[in-house]
Structure 1
Amino acid sequence: MSIEITDSLKAQIILSAVGAAGPGADDNTVSSQVSRIIGLMQDGSPAMAAFTYAEKRAENIVDTKKPFVGTVLYVDLEGYGSNGKNPSNRPIVFLQTEPSEHWRDGIEHFRLDRVDSHQGAQVKAQAAALTSLIGHRVAVTLRIEKGNGVNNRILAAYEDRGVDERFRDAQGGSTLNLLQGAAQINWTHDFKPNRAEIAPRLVRLNKSAQPVG
Structure 2
Amino acid sequence: MPDKPALDQTFSPAERDAVYRVIFERRDMRHFAGGTVAPELMRRLLTAAHHAPSVGFMQPWRFLRVASPALRCKLHALVEQERLLTARALGEREEAFMRLKVEGVNDAAEVWVVALADGRERHVFGRRTLPQMDLASTACAIQNLWLAARAEGLGMGWVSLFDPMAVARLLGMPDGADPIALLCIGPVYDFYEEPMLQRQRWASRCALDEVLFEDAWDQPLG
TM-score where L is the length of structure 2: 0.24
Whichever structure has more strand as a proportion of its residues is 1
Higher relative contact order (CA 8 A, sep 6+): 2
TM-score where L is the length of structure 1: 0.25
